[in-house]
Amino acid sequence: MLNTSRLRSLREESRESQDDLAGLLNVSREAYCLYENGHRNPSTEYVETLASHYSVSTDYLLDLTEVPYSTSDLNAKQRYVLRHLRSLNDETLSIIMAIINK
In 10 A of CB 42, how many CB atoms? Answer: 20
The predicted-structure confidence for 51-73, as pLDDT tens digits, reads as follows: 999 989 899 999 998 878 766 77
User: DSSP character for 69?
Assistant: S
Domains and their CATH numbers in the chain: 4-69 (1.10.260.40), 72-101 (no CATH)
pTM summary value: 0.69
State which amino acid sits at residue 89: N
The predicted-structure confidence for 1-42, as pLDDT tens digits, reads as follows: 899 999 999 999 999 999 999 999 999 999 999 999 999 999
> Assign residue 57 a region: left if phi > 0, alpha if psi is -120 to 50, beta otherwise?
beta
**CA pair distance 37, 30, nearest whole angstrom:** 10
